[in-house]
Structure 1
Amino acid sequence: MAGIRDIEAVVFDVLGTLVDEPGGLRAGIRDALPASGGESVDDLLALWQRHVETEQQSIARGDRAYADTGVVDGEAARRVAARAGISDPAAIARLATAGQRLSPWHDSVAALERLARRFPVLGLSNASRTALLRLNAHAGLRWHQVLSAEAVSAYKPAPEVYRLAIDAAGCPPGRVLMVAAHAWDLRGARASGMRTAYVRRPVGDPPTDADVFDGRFNGLDDLVTALTAG
């Protein structure tokens, strides 16, 4: 797509875009459940996700002081444990770090490698620094630089998070491409002046007809081809 070829750096959302966050959390919950547990794994996952979303929104409104994802995930894990009857402290502690053991989508690792030959490639995530370190190692993600929203004590779509990537890229925001599977994330990036590309995933937040992004792709192979053609 010609409209995104004049960029100088590519920035990727991580959770959901490059790794299967719901699938990894679901696996962590399933592993922690007692053999006799009657709770549905999907119901417990929904409980986890609601807690994370509610707390991040509370932080964004200023109703709660910033807490990184390690803290919020720990709270979510304890809620899930209480609902499911998980009492083993070691199992609860391991469950709290399930977000650090997420599998990459089938095209993520190769796409990063291909793009890195042509562009500076950055990750930009709400995940904490520690979570990103562990997650990158587990999933085999390779970056020129990865940035955590923890650096500015905020969560996307706060504008200061996108500014982290723009400043790191060292070029005008219109030359920086934000790639995500979440339309809400891309709206935040676009409001900060960045170029935007939506990549479809089995999970995520699809764009509406009203969204104006610079590209929409069925997978990362299509994105990489568009960026490197010519």
Structure 2
Amino acid sequence: MRNNKWVPIISSALVIGLLSGCGGGAAPKGTAEGTKEESPTQNEIAASFHATIETKAENNTMIIHYKVKNLSGKTKKLTFTSGLEADYIVYDLQGKKVKQYSDEVMATQVMKEIELESNQEIGKEFTISDLPNGRYKIEVFLTAKEEQAKVVTNLIVKNAYSKGTGVLVGQMDPHTIEIDMEGKKIAFQLTEDAIKQLPLLKEGEQVSFLYKGNDDGQKTIQKFVFEK
């Protein structure tokens, strides 16, 4: 069996990893707050490939395990035009695209071919850390010329971040700002990532952000969100 190497791509917000040569056993089923596996119907992928997604909530992030297995009974060639071998798109319940992995990372422009032998499995792991609480659909697929092996599942994000909007009143100290939310002025602590974004904001303008509160009522902005 050939040893196929997949080059990992790293970004500050998301990490994509390698899970090549995994076994074919099914993961336990559950909800997106724990683990979930969902297999596509026959019209979602070619009959010679089987794709699955497992999702897991961990430390305010969603871990996405995507696996593709060659069930054709013979070796299949996959051709990639960049270092991005797999991609995903997250949609809200209205079908609007919320985020896409390939929009946020840089991939090496290099042609690469791999041969996937019969019953061999390849996989990718995505970490999504900036989705507010809510219900979504996630679509994951290969970027190969010959096969997408697309699979779609529901994604439920809980106990992560809430999304807020309001008018920026001003900065109270290096790590605190005040925002007017529907006539109520609220102080928010800032993470280091949020502090780096402050030069992009102006007092008196409306801002959108992801934040989380604790049991003491303190609210912390994880990052500011710039609507497209």
> What interval of TM-score do these two structures reach, taking the shorter chain for normalisation?
under 0.3
Task: Return the TM-score normalized by structure 2.
Answer: 0.23
Bigger strand share: 2
Larger radius of gyration: 2
